[in-house]
Structures are given as structure tokens and as C-alpha cells.
């Protein structure tokens, strides 16, 4: 049985880890290199490092920060933000990233997913999808959730899987930062319709939310930020809770 993964997310702006609610009202959560080292030592299965202002500000992810984080961790490490070419990915992987996450650039030019998968292998390519439920339909948004598209979450997820994505990181904008739980209904549908791993993101507030997203949402991994950054949930205790609920985890 494949173990379920716990994935702290480091949202980076101007070199610092930040966290907001519904993608806004950001507050400082600490030094990303220090946080990464702590998570690697306390049982995180993977890390995701998102330069949340890279796309908006039309600049590239900070490769030197990636390099510094990579020196401190011995677990897989995904990097996203402002990635729009094979060259961008090459630089990040050379600096220590294990995987990359693409979002806005893939929507603007879907062939990018094909190119990255062909060059680096699908196991390296995560497609992040930020979506908001509006009048019952999940609509994909871009640029840190600021720009709505005409894309439907499920159709877009299927397309990027066909183009070579190795996993989907789905963030529910409705749930993000609310601590009311993950969007399990949408997650379960993604898991049933796709054949690649789905990472749940947006809404973690307590340990039961993780239990629910693995059981009800059928997620392969659960990503969270503030509950870990502000020490509301300790990863070792979370994993013991998951194990007690019959969920396979790496202890």
C-alpha cells in the first residue's frame, strides 16, 4: 500500500515565508531555509516551495534560495513560481529541486507540460491548479488566484494528465486559509477521474481534516502551511493520529 504524504508548503514572498487567508492578507511565517530544515527533521514527506509573487511580478524563482533550502533537506522538494520554460526547470533542478510545479504558464501555453515531461520525465512535473467554486462550478484561476479563466477544474486536470503531468496539486480557493477542512468532494472526483496522484491543498485546520481528506477526498497527499508554520499541528503527532485511523504513513 502506498503511504499517504504530509507536505508542508513554504509560500515565499521577498525571501520570507508568508501565509494568508483566501490568497490575501499575508503575514510573515519565518525563514524558509530554517523551516525547511525543521520539517525535514520532524517527519515531513516532501516540501513544496512556491514563490507566490514570481508570476505576478514577471520574475524567476530565486535559484539561490532553492539551493540553500536543498542543502538543508533530505526529502523530495518541489519548486514553483514563475516557471515558463525548459530552461527555468533546468536551473531549478540543477540547484537541488526534485520536482517543479507549473500553474499560470501551463494554462497560457499548455504545450509547456508536454515539453517539460518529455525533457525531464513526468515524475518531475507537478501541475498546480487553483480553483474556486462559483455557482456550483469549479473555475480555474491564475496569478495567485487573482485572474479567473474559462477553464473547468476537472477538464483541465484531465488535459494536463494527458500532456504528461506526474501529479496535480489542487488548491481550493474557497477553503484556503479558512481551517474548515479540504474540498473533499472535488478531491474525490479528481481522484476517481485521473490516474495520477492528487495533492490536497487549502483548508487544513486540525488533524481530523487530514484524516477526512485521505478517507473521503481520496487524496494521495495533503499540503498545509499555517497549521505547521505556527505550530498548531506537529507532524509526528499528526502521523500517529493518521496511523491510528488506519491510514498508511511513513513514521
pLDDT tens profile 102-142:
999 999 999 999 999 999 999 999 999 999 999 999 999 99
CA angle in degrees (0–180, nearest 5) for 242-246-248? 70
Query: Are the C-beta atoms of 116 and 103 separated by less than 8 Å?
Result: no
CA 232 – CA 87 distance, rounded (Å)? 38
Q: What is the pLDDT of residue 220?
A: 98
- List the grid coordinates of 174: 474557497
Residue 58 has pLDDT above 50, yes or no: no
Catalytic residue among 11, 176, 212, 220: 11
The phi and psi torsions of 214 (rounded to 5 degrees) equal: -75, -40
Residue percentage of the chain with pLDDT more than 70: 92
pLDDT higher than 90, residue 54? no
Is it true that domain 5-244 has CATH number 3.40.50.450? Answer: no
Residue 13, H or E segment: strand 5-13
Q: Which of 130, 176, 212, 220 is catalytic?
A: 130
What pLDDT is attached to residue 217? Answer: 98
Active site residue 130: yes
Contacts 24+ apart (CB under 8 A), 28-31: 29/225, 29/226, 29/229, 29/230, 30/229
201-246 confidence digits (pLDDT tens): 999 999 999 999 999 999 999 999 889 988 999 999 999 999 999 9
The predicted model scores a pTM of 0.92
Residue 50 has a pLDDT of 86
Closest CA to 11 of 156, 96, 130: 130
Per the annotation, the verdict on 11 as an active-site residue is: yes
The ranges assigned to domains in the chain are 5-244
- Centroid of chain to Cα 219: 12
State the pLDDT at residue 24: 58
- Give 126's contacts (C-beta < 8 A, 6+ positions apart): 78, 80, 99, 100, 101, 102, 165, 166, 167, 168, 169, 199
Q: What is the pLDDT of residues 153-196, one digit of tens each?
A: 999 999 999 999 999 999 999 998 889 999 999 999 999 999 99
CB 231 within 8 A of CB 30: no
3-class DSSP state of 20: strand
Of 159, 143, 165, give the one whose Cα is nearest residue 78: 165
- Average of per-residue pLDDT across 30-51: 92
Amino acid at each position: 500500500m502506498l503511504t499517504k504524504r504530509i507536505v508542508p508548503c513554504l509560500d515565499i514572498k521577498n525571501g520570507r515565508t508568508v501565509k494568508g487567508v483566501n490568497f490575501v492578507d499575508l503575514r510573515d511565517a519565518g525563514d524558509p531555509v530554517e523551516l525547511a530544515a525543521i520539517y525535514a527533521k520532524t517527519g515531513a514527506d516532501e516540501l513544496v516551495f512556491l514563490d507566490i509573487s514570481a508570476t505576478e511580478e514577471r520574475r524567476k524563482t530565486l535559484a539561490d534560495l532553492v539551493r540553500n533550502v536543498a542543502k538543508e533537506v533530505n526529502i523530495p522538494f518541489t519548486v514553483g513560481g514563475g516557471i515558463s520554460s525548459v530552461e527555468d526547470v533546468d536551473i531549478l533542478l540543477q540547484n537541488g529541486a526534485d520536482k517543479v510545479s507549473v500553474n499560470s504558464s501551463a494554462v497560457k501555453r499548455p504545450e509547456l507540460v508536454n515539453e517539460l515531461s518529455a525533457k525531464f520525465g513526468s515524475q518531475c512535473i507537478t501541475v498546480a491548479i487553483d480553483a474556486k467554486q462559483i455557482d456550483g462550478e469549479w473555475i480555474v484561476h491564475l496569478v495567485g488566484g487573482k485572474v479567473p479563466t474559462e477553464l473547468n477544474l476537472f477538464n483541465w486536470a484531465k488535459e494536463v494528465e494527458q500532456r504528461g503531468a506526474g501529479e496535480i496539486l489542487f488548491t481550493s480557493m474557497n477553503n484556503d486559509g479558512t481551517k474548515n477542512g479540504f474540498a473533499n468532494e472535488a478531491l474525490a472526483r479528481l481522484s476517481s477521474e485521473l490516474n495520477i496522484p492528487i495533492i490536497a491543498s487549502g483548508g487544513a485546520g486540525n488533524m481530523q481534516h487530514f484524516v477526512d481528506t485521505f478517507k473521503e477526498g481520496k487524496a494521495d497527499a495533503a499540503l498545509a502551511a499555517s497549521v505547521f508554520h505556527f505550530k498548531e499541528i506537529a507532524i509526528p503527532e499528526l502521523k500517529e493520529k493518521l496511523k491510528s485511523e488506519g491510514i498508511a504513513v511513513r513514521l
